[in-house]
Structure 1
């Protein structure tokens, strides 16, 4: 019985430590008092967790302050998680060809807990300073590099996400309508919705059993976007998406 209690305590400690790390999903830096309040634990317990995570390298504490930030080990794990994404490995050669054919930056994003995570970006020579970065997390309802992830998400998850935005009734209906249009078209096109002065065109990509795997997109400066090029860009991205779908084992009739 005693061994079972010790095991339960150990599991509870691990769960609490993970809860602390998960706070960085929303906050860049945290304090001891914030952790205690947010996770409903005593300051003593919060201190022990923060101390252990810092001592092991998963957190770091600023020298002249009280805030804690993700440490090198957390960054390393995050980087390895990005590199190990199966869709990233499958899509990379196709994305490289797409960049060459369009002459635009190319992105691959995936949905993580209803947020958009950029797992790959192939730059042209003129890097877009305002655009997304590998490892960056972005609102899933903003920009054509992200919105297909929301539009093609499972209905229940999509509705819960839209509800969590706490938008006004009209604004919520507008966003729902836009997502329906994205599903009907099969792609999204936005200007300045995520990054001012930039445009993006994004297509969803799918894996086995036609499960949503990610979104591929191209982007550039809006002023350089010539409408006569739009159809050619669209054709190239659609072909790239179809190739990734094929390589990932998606069923053609579900496209």
Structure 2
């Protein structure tokens, strides 16, 4: 039984290492050890195994690691949103071309949102959105959209969770969610990142259920609060178009 516990713990630690790469594309031993709270010698052994299996690649010149070919091989077999992320890509590209900012599509997974598709702005100063990134539901326009339309029990558990940030006042957050349902969109202005703003709307399938959040984000120098409200109407048009493509 003790050997089994050690084996399971080793697997958990290896997965924790891989999850570090959701926050950076190339990481060193010290960075990884600090993020997962383990001694460097333990992390080094796990990194060596992951490298041997092809899940990580080490850059000899920098001694840093990045995701390996095995991750790509696994991802090619992943059914992303029932392949709807690819289906909705042209509509997202048209929205990007019309408004000039980065467009993202998110799903809710537990108490987090996951970016399943993104179209980057072509402007020199832009917000780069990485597909697969996980973000908390407590802040951000897309987070609030997904929380607003989540089942009541999910919202209750979210607000009561130990991981709820102290700087987000629960009653004010609830009020924001009620406002989102009333007006049909959410905005964020430097909520999660300094200098960044976003607007998001729900994507409703033909079943009538909200299945995703469509967002547009960029620098506050171009996206004022007034501009976010103006762009919300354009996003709703695209979300309605996308909804007709979904079950």
TM-score by shorter chain over 0.5: yes
1:84-123 per-position Cα deviation (integer Å, ceiling 9, x unaligned): 4323122111111212222222111222343222222223
For 2:234, the equivalent position in structure 1 comes to: 236
For 1:99, the equivalent position in structure 2 comes to: 96
Larger Rg: 1
Query: Structure 1, unaligned stretches of length 5 or more?
Result: 1-8, 38-42, 250-255
In the TM superposition, what are the counterparts of 1:1-255 in structure 2 within 5 Å? 17=11, 20-21=14-15, 24-25=18-19, 53-59=50-56, 71-73=67-69, 75-77=71-73, 79-80=75-76, 84-85=80-81, 86-162=83-159, 163-168=161-166, 171-207=169-205, 209-225=207-223, 229-230=227-228, 232-249=230-247
Question: Structure 2: how far apart are the matches of 1:124 and 1:166?
Answer: 31
Query: Structure 2, unaligned stretches of length 5 or more?
Result: 24-30
1:176-209 per-position Cα deviation (integer Å, ceiling 9, x unaligned): 2222322232210111112222221101213363
Secondary structure of 2:158's partner? helix
More helix by proportion, 1 or 2? 1
Are 1:106 and 1:218, in contact at CA under 8 Å, matched by a contact in 2?
yes
Secondary structure of 1:116's partner? strand
Aligned residues: 233
Are 1:198 and 1:222, in contact at CA under 8 Å, matched by a contact in 2?
yes
1:126-185 per-position Cα deviation (integer Å, ceiling 9, x unaligned): 154555323322222222133212222222222223323244598222222222322232
> CA 1:233–1:167 in 2, change beyond 3 Å: closer, same or farther?
closer
RMSD: 4.1
Secondary structure of 1:247's partner? coil
Are 1:79 and 1:135, in contact at CA under 8 Å, matched by a contact in 2?
no
1:17-45 per-position Cα deviation (integer Å, ceiling 9, x unaligned): 367425644687656xx7999xxxxx8xx
Secondary structure of 1:141's partner? coil
Cα distance, 1:77 vs structure 2 = 4.9
Cα distance, 1:214 vs structure 2 = 1.8
Are 1:130 and 1:195, in contact at CA under 8 Å, matched by a contact in 2?
no
For 1:4, the equivalent position in structure 2 comes to: none
Question: Structure 1: how far apart are the matches of 2:174 and 2:20?
Answer: 24
Question: Structure 1: how far apart are the matches of 2:87 and 2:241?
Answer: 10
Are 2:126 and 2:219, in contact at CA under 8 Å, matched by a contact in 1?
no
Are 1:140 and 1:147, in contact at CA under 8 Å, matched by a contact in 2?
yes
TM-score w.r.t. the length of structure 1 is 0.69
> CA 1:227–1:199 in 2, change beyond 3 Å: closer, same or farther?
closer
Secondary structure of 2:203's partner? strand
Question: Structure 2: how far apart are the matches of 1:36 and 1:225?
Answer: 41
Question: Structure 1: how far apart are the matches of 2:109 and 2:74?
Answer: 12
